[in-house]
Amino acid sequence: MSSTQNKKQKQNSQNIKGTSIKHPASSLIFIILLSAVVVSVVLSVSIGQVSIPFQQSFRILIHQLTGGRIGNTSEISMVMFTDIIWQIRFPRVLLAMVTGAGLALCGTVMQASVQNPLADPYILGISSGAALGATFSIMLGFGVGGLLGEFGVATWAFIGALGAAALVLGLASIGGKTSSVKLVLAGTVINALCNAFSNFIIYFAKNSDGIRSVSFWTMGSLASAEWSRLPLLSAVVFAAIVFFLFQSRVMNTMLMGEETAITLGINLNFYRRLYMIISSVVTGVLVSTCGIIGFVGLIIPHIVRSVVGSDHKRLIPAAILFGSLFMIWTDVFARMIIPNGELPIGIVTSLLGAPVFMYMLIKKSYGFGGR
């Protein structure tokens, strides 16, 4: 290996490792983010069409979380507030937390895997595949009392998301090892095909109610939040978080390039495919439950990267916490902006995310892989 390549590897390694020197207050940032998430949970369950005092919300949450051992909610007003908070708002806040954490995590992993700062969780055609599955279910009648019962739409959306991701991975692996460029191009192709088939089904079905349902689903919503849906969703996202928290070294190596990975004995092709599969499963589960929520996985890693640096040991946990925080307050905004109504959360995230991302592109206030 030439001396120029050695110098390049040393420089890349210093860029990644230098984030720990450049951001000495990262522990404080984590504490602040974690505290903000906890406070936001209590505040967000207090906000809605029925306003509930912060202190009463806190008492109700403590009472319910401790199984009734702490606090007293026997007052008439507290009983009514308990139903609102525990049965409606708290599951929704938890779903927002899990969704934000999952999308931010997958966005961070995708950007490292394909070495592209414009990558997001939907880069493998996952969103278009899920939309195709949901369109098939809704327009052809499999979603309501059909083949798979009441969970038909979510199940078909999940199948579509995984199917699209599998096609992309298969297409990108033809002719040799999977590269980041081939993944992006394959994702673009599958995305176009899935969108074409979705439009084909909509055009010939001629079902106005179905078209409206498909449109609302593709805009994203947390209105489906229920206690019964949270365990599986939370388990999948939590398992992915635990796994990727121990993968910071490999992801840092991805940012340094193929030559550095070979020198360190890391098979990037294997890890890239593994990361894509795990991210596809997580994103597929989230999309099947909440619909398509754009920009979260794209802008959150960039915002956090500009604060804590490119070292994934710090970037991943910070992105997870900030993603949860972002989704909690985005959902509050979506619930409150229209009186006696709700704006699809995908519209809100796009309206907030697009200007932020344009500003970051213009200012170039983030670093990617130390560059």
Residue 245, pLDDT > 90, answer: yes
Domain boundaries, the chain: 37-43+50-89, 97-363
Q: What are phi and psi of 146, to 5 degrees?
A: -95, -140
CA-CA distance, 81 to 91, in Å (whole number)? 14
Within 8 A by CB and 6+ apart from 27, the residues are none
Q: What are phi and psi of 77, to 5 degrees?
A: -65, -35
| DSSP string for residues in 174-194 | TTSS--HHHHHHHHHHHHHHH
pLDDT tens digits for 70-119? 766 666 566 778 888 988 899 999 999 999 999 999 999 998 888 877 78
Task: Assign 3-class secondary structure to 292-307.
Answer: CCCCHHHHHHHHHHHH
pLDDT of residue 151: 56
What CATH number was assigned to the domain covering residues 97-363? Answer: 1.10.3470.10
- Nearest CA to 113 out of 181, 199, 53, 32 is that of 181
Whether 168 contacts 280, CB under 8 Å: no
CA-CA distance, 206 to 204, in Å (whole number)? 6
DSSP state of 89: I
pTM: 0.85
SS3 146: strand
pLDDT of residue 364: 60
Task: Assign 3-class secondary structure to 21-35.
Answer: HHCCCHHHHHHHHHH
pLDDT tens digits for 122-149? 887 888 898 898 888 888 765 444 444 4
pLDDT tens digits for 180-230? 788 888 888 999 999 999 888 888 877 777 788 888 888 888 988 889 889
Report the interhelical angle of 90-113 vs 26-46 (nearest 10°). Answer: 140
